[in-house]
Structure 1
Amino acid sequence: MKRANPPPHLPFLRQASPIAFPPSTPTLSPTPSPLPAPLISIADEMTQNESALGLGNLLKPLDANASNGHAEARSEQQQQLAQAQGQAPASSAQDPLSLILAGMGDLQKEIARLHVRMDDMERNGSPAASPAMRPHALARAISTRSFRGGESRSRPSSPDKTSSGNAPAHVNALARSSNALSQPAPLLATPPDLGLWCVVPAGGAGTRLWPLSRESYPKFLLDLVGRGRTLLQSTWDRLLPLAGADRMIIVTGTAHVGGVSDQLPELLPDNVLAEPSPKESMAAIGLAAAVLARRDPDAVLGSFAADHIISGRDAFESAVKEAVVVANAGYLVTIGIAPSYPSTGFGYIKLGELLAQKTRFVDPQTSEGPYTAEGSSKLDPAKAPNARRVTEFKEKPDARTASAYLSTGDYRWNGGMFVVKAKILLELLSSSMPALHAGLMEIANAWETSSRMEVLGRVWPTLDKIAIDHAIAEPAAKAGRVAVVPATFGWDDVGDFSSLADLLPAEKGEARVLGDQKLVITENQAGGIIVPASGRTIACLGVDDVVVVDCEDALLITTRARAQDVKKIVARTKKNFPALC
């Protein structure tokens, strides 16, 4: 796989590490195995067909020395439970075979569950579930889980190793200076079966965050807030409890496939959809929907950007679960963010009546319905008490209009999050943009065949470049087919250095610093953001709300008020110094 080749300018932002496995697969003893014969057969088949991801990697994390403290913590819990029940504490030293046997029950259940899903896929004609491909698919899916003492968990990242070796120089520099510890991916139980597939469009150069974000190493691959996880990894962590690793799809550019795979080692190879060139969100999400509809015709698709920051995880999960309920009733659902100030940088959603008051889809012009075979009769008001109809989408307003929106209480920020059945999305796209729909379906039909690259190379350049809002959301809203779940969690798209400054900690009246605080000297300076990514000392005197981003090969100086205009500088820089962009 071709890895990203980022520019040599960024040593600063901490990135969380990929999973660190032992260097070699353990050699199984030739002595008679205590494992059940059917399981040995399945394991042998997986190992033969997928040696890099088969049973060998499944067994590696079972080594007590490689469990990063989780086995010790579990042993302590078991001893406490035994003492509470009046039993003798079990020995904390467990040999690998005991750990393997303790997890075999869950392993067998997992294999059975995967076989059931593969049976469904095979009945629907998916080539990925054919008898020849089944061992590969099972091995890939099982390799994303660890089985310790009867529990199935997502594997954690190693907390003591970073993956910044291929990063630009300023990424590595901030990594060395960051006070944040590299955080492992969370340990998770099996997620609830919502029928949800999470699609993460990971694209865009993030030009308003130049020179930190570059075309070759965009902002979603960076940790911009010092939490030890990049924006992409944080998005993965947030969605994993809702879908599970095997239902996570990343759509990214071919140049970023290597970087995405490095940062998300649990991501299944078949769930990375590579775009030959940027085409905006409709083509990316539409491609995922078209491919997904072939794998799982009843799938509910949730689209969540790779580079947003969200706080309030419980509120986020609650909103997504309610959106899934509404999507199953046939709506295109968006999640509306409660505005905290009159922003001119976001689009807005105007709220309509509660869906609990509606009985079916109604065409406002013909007063006829329902629109689809699904109908809204499936909508249980008790499970979607907050969902409303979307009256209309509003473009980014001026300051006066934004203030008027907030005063009414009837508007929400458009965070670009959509939840919808894959087949409903394709139906809406076919109605509003039939040529784009036809092109995506042609690509999807060839996706799991040997002609994928030929079809992709021929059809992709002909597709329209348009956002999902304009392509289907706005037309569908006029027809009464779009719903919104108002949400209360914190949200920011980290669109420029002014919004980034608000996310960083600072003493009262002091500038925010992303990187080594010791390299920044200020006097009578407040409100700005300084990024000492080159290792040079930066001194600021009497300049409020300044933005200073110092990389080894580029220096940006502006103000927070002009943060949205950084893209203009990038456009001019690209003409004379394209390698810097």
Structure 2
Amino acid sequence: MSETPIDDFTAIVPAGGVGSRLWPLSRPDRPKFLLDLLGTGSTLIQETLSRLAPLTPDVVVVTGAKHASAVLAQAPELPDTNLLAEPSPRDSMAAIALAAAVVEHRHGPRLVGSFAADHVIGDPVSFREAVRTAVGPARDGYVVTIGIEPTEPSTAFGYIEQGVEHSPGVMRVRAFTEKPDAATARRMLADGGYVWNAGMFVVRTDVLLGHLATLLPALEAGVREIAAAWDTGGRGEVMDRVWPTLQKIAIDHAIAEPVAAQGGVAVVPSAFDWHDVGDFATLAELTSADADGVVRIDSTADIRAIQSDGVVAIGATRTIAVVGLDDVVVVETPEAILVVSKAHAQAVKDAGTPASGSVL
């Protein structure tokens, strides 16, 4: 497929979330999308913007107000008018809807695609091909998502059940499924016809906001009011008054699930290399081990693995010795030290919550 830009297309990049399962690397003041987690020399948001550049020169980033300056510092090519700063997190629907409303207020109805700032995609060309495949049905009025063909019965992702074919490379969506238990995930893989929900959507602004007006009219009216004031001197007053009233809800629950039940969602099943980097076990899988079997990420210290396999050291500046423990991740930051088994990587989010009387 051509790598020329898509006509009348704006990419929306929601840059939010704390990345609590990557604590203490990722913290409220240092979220994971601002980090170079893989040691590539680029942060996750920089990789995302680079990946999107061949699709469109028009990108809108939505992030928390306290991260706005850091985003602009990492993305000097991004016009400050295309950075939308949220005063507080209201989940993905409010962020994406605000961006869509601002884009439509500026340009009229337009095609948009929403792509998270913190994903890792190993094959950007195939990713862009999937986006281009999604454009046709999206122009026709569908909400189109990009699904990832599962490689294992993961319980970390939601799943999309495919229906009949819509067009070459595009399937209608029967239903969305929340993160399943292990038995259900195994059954889905055995049955076939399911893809992982990667949270990527391509849709016309008028279609997205039209669905929102029907399903959550107060949220739609709120983002429309903010968008109308965004490029005026009244932005601050309207944002401060309206934004806290918007419902906190994910786009999956607000739009994708109910619209799929009406037959209005399609999916592009894709096999490109995609990772959510949701925890340290996933991060370790994306990094090669050294000759001694230890995975080192941004670690300058002496790491000694004695009768221990699968050791991962992140950010280490002091000698670390791991004795008799397999599949252990050790993370050092100026604020804290974490030791966790890969099997319990999903539980790290609880470690970042201060216990009563403690300070982290």
User: Same fold by TM-score, threshold 0.5 exceeded?
Assistant: yes
Question: Which among 255, 263, 274 is matched to residue 491 of structure 1?
Answer: 274
Does 1:450 pair with 2:263?
A: no
Cα gap change, 1:575 to 1:485, in 2 (>3 Å): farther
Contact kept in structure 2, 1:509 and 1:525, CA below 8 Å? no
1:317 CA drift (Å): 1.0
Q: 2:40 is paired with a residue of what secondary structure?
A: coil
Q: Which has the higher helix share?
A: 1
Cα gap change, 1:190 to 1:510, in 2 (>3 Å): closer
1:520 CA drift (Å): 1.1
Q: 2:154 is paired with a residue of what secondary structure?
A: coil
Question: Which among 337, 340, 355 is matched to residue 151 of structure 2?
Answer: 340
Aligned equivalent of 2:219: 436
1:343-422 matches, within 5 Å, as 343-356=154-167, 385-422=168-205
1:295 CA drift (Å): 1.5
1:298 CA drift (Å): 3.1
Which letter does structure 2 place at the counterpart of 1:309?
V
Contact kept in structure 2, 1:528 and 1:559, CA below 8 Å? no
Does 1:314 pair with 2:97?
A: no
Contact kept in structure 2, 1:249 and 1:288, CA below 8 Å? yes
Post-superposition CA distance 1:424-474 (Å, at most 9, x none): 000011111111111111111111111110000001111111000000110
Cα gap change, 1:573 to 1:310, in 2 (>3 Å): farther
Which letter does structure 2 place at the counterpart of 1:238?
R
Post-superposition CA distance 1:394-447 (Å, at most 9, x none): 000011110111112200000000000011000011111111111111111111
Q: 1:566 is paired with a residue of what secondary structure?
A: helix
1:94-243 matches, within 5 Å, as 191-243=4-56
Which letter does structure 2 place at the counterpart of 1:411?
Y
Which letter does structure 2 place at the counterpart of 1:478?
A
Post-superposition CA distance 1:544-571 (Å, at most 9, x none): 0112112222111111111111111112
Q: Which has the higher strand share?
A: 2
Return the index of the structure with the highest Cα Rg. 1
Does 1:291 pair with 2:102?
A: yes
Aligned equivalent of 1:538: 320
1:29-68 matches, within 5 Å, as none
Q: 1:326 is paired with a residue of what secondary structure?
A: helix
Q: 2:200 is paired with a residue of what secondary structure?
A: strand
Inter-partner Cα distance in structure 1 for 2:81 and 2:357? 37
Contact kept in structure 2, 1:202 and 1:307, CA below 8 Å? yes
Q: 2:55 is paired with a residue of what secondary structure?
A: helix
Aligned equivalent of 1:186: none
Inter-partner Cα distance in structure 1 for 2:107 and 2:266? 23
Aligned equivalent of 2:308: 525
Which letter does structure 2 place at the counterpart of 1:224?
L
Question: Which among 324, 331, 340 is matched to residue 549 of structure 1?
Answer: 331
Aligned equivalent of 2:260: 477
Which letter does structure 2 place at the counterpart of 1:576?
S
Cα gap change, 1:343 to 1:574, in 2 (>3 Å): farther
Post-superposition CA distance 1:490-541 (Å, at most 9, x none): 11110011111111111588232112355211122212321144x1111111
Show structure 2 runs of 5+ residues with no match: none
1:573 CA drift (Å): 4.9
Q: 1:349 is paired with a residue of what secondary structure?
A: strand
Inter-partner Cα distance in structure 1 for 2:65 and 2:300? 36
Contact kept in structure 1, 2:11 and 2:59, CA below 8 Å? yes
Aligned equivalent of 1:300: 111
Post-superposition CA distance 1:19-77 (Å, at most 9, x none): xxxxxxxxxxxxxxxxxxxxxxxxxxxxxxxxxxxxxxxxxxxxxxxxxxxxxxxxxxx
Q: 2:164 is paired with a residue of what secondary structure?
A: strand
Aligned equivalent of 1:559: 341
Which letter does structure 1 place at the counterpart of 2:156?
G
Cα gap change, 1:509 to 1:413, in 2 (>3 Å): farther
Question: Which among 272, 278, 285 is matched to residue 83 of structure 2?
Answer: 272
Cα gap change, 1:227 to 1:574, in 2 (>3 Å): farther
Contact kept in structure 1, 2:290 and 2:296, CA below 8 Å? no
Which letter does structure 2 place at the counterpart of 1:394?
T
Post-superposition CA distance 1:106-132 (Å, at most 9, x none): xxxxxxxxxxxxxxxxxxxxxxxxxxx
Structure 1 segments of 4 or more deviating over 3 A? none
Which letter does structure 2 place at the counterpart of 1:334?
T
Show structure 1 runs of 5+ residues with no match: 1-188, 357-384
Which letter does structure 1 place at the counterpart of 2:126?
A
Question: Which among 506, 509, 514 is matched to residue 289 of structure 2?
Answer: 506
Identical pairs, percent: 51
Inter-partner Cα distance in structure 2 for 1:575 and 1:200? 38
Cα gap change, 1:454 to 1:575, in 2 (>3 Å): farther
Aligned equivalent of 1:161: none
> What is the number of equivalent residue pairs in this alignment?
359
Contact kept in structure 1, 2:23 and 2:351, CA below 8 Å? no
Inter-partner Cα distance in structure 1 for 2:315 and 2:131? 38
Cα gap change, 1:287 to 1:549, in 2 (>3 Å): same
- With normalisation by structure 1, the TM-score equals 0.60
